[in-house]
Structure 1
Amino acid sequence: MKIIIVGAGIGGLAAAISLHEAGLTDVTVYERSAAIRGLGVGINLLPHAVRELTELGLADTIADLGVAPATLSYFNRHGQPIWSEPRGLAAGYHWPQLSVHRGRLQLALRDLAEARLAEPIRLGHRLIGVASNSDGSETARFSTDAGDVDATADLIIGADGIHSALRAARYPAEGAPPWSGLTLWRGVSRIPAFLDGRTMIMAGDGEQKFVAYPLSAADPTGRMLVNFIAERRVGGSGDADWNRAVDPAPIAELFRDWSFDWLDVPATIAAADEILEYPMVDRDPLPHWTFGRTTLLGDAAHAMYPNGSNGGSQAIIDARTLAFHLATADTIDEGLARYEAARRPRMTALLAGTRATGPERVMQLAHERAPHGFGDIDDIIPLSEREQIAADYKTAAGFLPTILNERPSLTPAR
């Protein structure tokens, strides 16, 4: 089976490695960029994704890239605690949660793919069209600096992100991703360690929010590398340039009153060497991912808001699920049908959950019920309600500890 993967991001590279490990070795990855430079900021890999990376033999490599948070804590915009829960091994999972730099993760996956695949990654190839052939194969046309080139395969996988060319070819009237009205500013700072040095924090509500988590252990001076996301509802159309670098000072000013006993938010923002601005957008759910011998994966299939820190993790699970079903089904068509049946309904439900703020709903409820703060959180949101919100999201995202720990492996029998 000859397979083409469009896109060398986390999902595309994970798919290439997963297919190879499942015995489907005739795989070629095409990437529109001229180089894979490992850009971006932080990403959280939740235990269900770390399980898949572990079974691919990547656990030690990825663990060396970042840190394993032990706690996730939610606060209101006044710095008052709303809800905390253990994460990773501390929560009873068999696998940790890992916070890593997205670029370093991508480069690690690239290196592994290059080492295992027979064909090198084809850089500088931008997908401009696909065509089905009478024998059931598919032909992809790419634009390159040397002119257009065609490549034919038994299967084409679109892992080319939220602005997927393959998705656009199948849904040409879809248009741009819908904007939430929120703008995100992402950055990395080296600051004094906060709380226990292994806690991921989220503070705020649906109008303004700040997220931060360590990307390194504290150094001898007590400082550590921290990834942060500042978020605020703003005016405009949401058509801002992606990855646009902006001055940290005006963003820090938006959070000037958010100086807590345990974290100085404006100082964290101001300490960033660079801040990248993004409109907070997602994609509406699709009725089909698969057309003929083409299918979608990751953000190309189900781009969602970052509520719950789940986008990259779900792309890795897509990759492993697709490889498993292609390797175990009698035909390509059967494998694609099984993949879509396993993943699309779940991602449709999860996308709806992220639009309802996912597990961050506890912050919104605290704001609605006590906008000026509270004396006792139990009087505002009972413990049982907070526990239920957390459990519901884990169930929807597929990483409730008992479910994940007991789920059969996605590694096909060889």
Structure 2
Amino acid sequence: MRVVVAGAGIGGLATALSLYAAGITDVTVYEAVEEIRPLGVGIDLLPHAVRELSELGLYDDVAEISVATAESVHHDRFGRRLRTEPRGLAAGYAWPQFSVHRGELQMLLLRGQLAWLGAESLRTGLRLSGYAQTADGVTVEFTDPAGNTVTDEADVLIAADGIDSAGRALMYPSEGPPTWHGRVLWRGVSPAPALLTGHTTIVAGDGDQRFVAHPLRAAEGERPALLNWLAERPHPGPPAQPGDWQRPAELDTILAHFADWEFDWLDVPTLIANADVAYEYPMVDRDPLPSWSDGRVTLLGDAAHATFPIGIDGASQAILDARVLAHELATHSDPIEALSRYEELRRPATTTLQQSNRAHGPGTLPHPTPTPGTGHDAKALNERASYSVTNNKTTTES
């Protein structure tokens, strides 16, 4: 089976690795940018995603570039503690919750793809621009920055090309831009002293503004910790580019709204002012779709189910998509049946997650809660059967 993947983000790269582990080695990943660089800020990998990366043999590699989160501590606007919730192993999961820089995780997965599938498995500077179903496959068209087109033939096309997915636009040409929800997030990474226990995510604020922070790197000797942070508040008008996650933020603009957020345990203005990088993230998402697939073409990750960038689950859900899709392709002789089964297993869960994030409203932070079917139930996750897709063989283990 030949598979073409559009998009070399976390979802697309996890798909390539999962396909290889399932015995599907004729895989090419196409990426629109010409040079893949470790951009972005911090993300959280929830236990269900850590489990799937462990199945790929990547646990030690991911742990080396991450910090395990043990608790989430909620505070009011003045830094007074309200409640503490355990996370990861402390919450009863068999796998930790990791905080990691998105770019470092992406580069780790990229190195894995090049090592497992070879340099020829990656083509950059080519954006998905069209596809056509054939009697026994799909013809895929890509366009380079100069407007030249390149075509490829595949049994399956997987569009893992983000919230502004070209694959999704080809399936749903009248959908339009992402939905704007009236708030803005500023996200950054800053050197700072260790935050509380060093394994803590903090959430502080009220119904109007809030601030979230967690470590990406532990303090060691003279070297400070590296903290990922998020500042959120209402925004007076729609964003200029609703789906642009790499729009640089003006630190003075952020500081104007958080200048007096100085707590005994965290100096928020200093943390913002010392940012190595900071980006403006508009509060946008996509409506759930009635279907992800069109014949031999399907969507994955944000292309299928983009949700608010505050639910700490986007990357984790993309990894789950990748593992389930690879398993179904490896265990079905008919690719169309495999895509149907993948969608049957994953679309209801991600639709529930999208709706849950929206239901929490713009003034709250939707943390994962034990919800059967979404991968958040610790007992169910620890006891459920899992598969190890290697050489097209499926095994189960508790």
TM-score range, shorter chain: over 0.9
Distance 1:360 1:66 in 2: 28
Percent identity over paired residues: 52
**For the aligned residues, what is the CA RMSD?**
1.9
Deviation at 1:396, TM superposition (A): 5.5
Distance 2:132 2:82 in 1: 53
Q: Following superposition, which runs of at least 4 residues in structure 1 exceed 4 angstroms of deviation?
A: 358-361
Distance 1:89 1:144 in 2: 45
Distance 1:74 1:395 in 2: 24
Tell me the TM-score normalised to structure 2 length.
0.93
Structure 1 residues 10-409: aligned runs within 5 Å: 10-118=10-118, 119-133=120-134, 135-145=135-145, 147-221=148-222, 223-240=224-241, 242=244, 243-357=246-360, 361=364, 391-392=369-370, 394-395=371-372, 397-409=374-386
Distance 2:361 2:368 in 1: 8
Deviation at 1:331, TM superposition (A): 1.6
- Tell whether the 8 Å contact from 1:308 to 1:358 is kept in structure 2 after alignment: no
- Tell whether the 8 Å contact from 1:252 to 1:267 is kept in structure 2 after alignment: no
Amino acid aligned to 2:39: L
* Aligned CA distance change for structure 1 residues 250 and 232 (closer, same or farther; 3 Å): same
Amino acid aligned to 1:85: E
- Tell whether the 8 Å contact from 2:368 to 2:376 is kept in structure 1 after alignment: no
Deviation at 1:327, TM superposition (A): 1.0
Distance 2:213 2:262 in 1: 14
Amino acid aligned to 2:60: D
- Tell whether the 8 Å contact from 2:289 to 2:304 is kept in structure 1 after alignment: yes
Amino acid aligned to 1:398: G
State which drifts further: 33-42 or 321-330. Answer: 321-330
What count of residue pairs does the alignment treat as equivalent? 387
* Aligned CA distance change for structure 1 residues 73 and 396 (closer, same or farther; 3 Å): farther
Deviation at 1:410, TM superposition (A): 3.1
State which drifts further: 77-86 or 341-350. Answer: 77-86
Amino acid aligned to 2:140: A
Deviation at 1:80, TM superposition (A): 2.2
1:378 maps to none
* Aligned CA distance change for structure 1 residues 253 and 315 (closer, same or farther; 3 Å): same
Whichever structure has more helix as a proportion of its residues is 1
Task: Mark the runs of 5 or more structure 2 residues left unpaired by the alignment.
Answer: none
Amino acid aligned to 1:109: L
* Aligned CA distance change for structure 1 residues 30 and 137 (closer, same or farther; 3 Å): same
Distance 2:216 2:273 in 1: 18
Distance 1:27 1:281 in 2: 32
State which drifts further: 22-31 or 304-313. Answer: 304-313
Distance 1:307 1:144 in 2: 33
* Aligned CA distance change for structure 1 residues 280 and 145 (closer, same or farther; 3 Å): closer
* Aligned CA distance change for structure 1 residues 391 and 107 (closer, same or farther; 3 Å): closer
Deviation at 1:165, TM superposition (A): 0.2
Amino acid aligned to 2:343: E
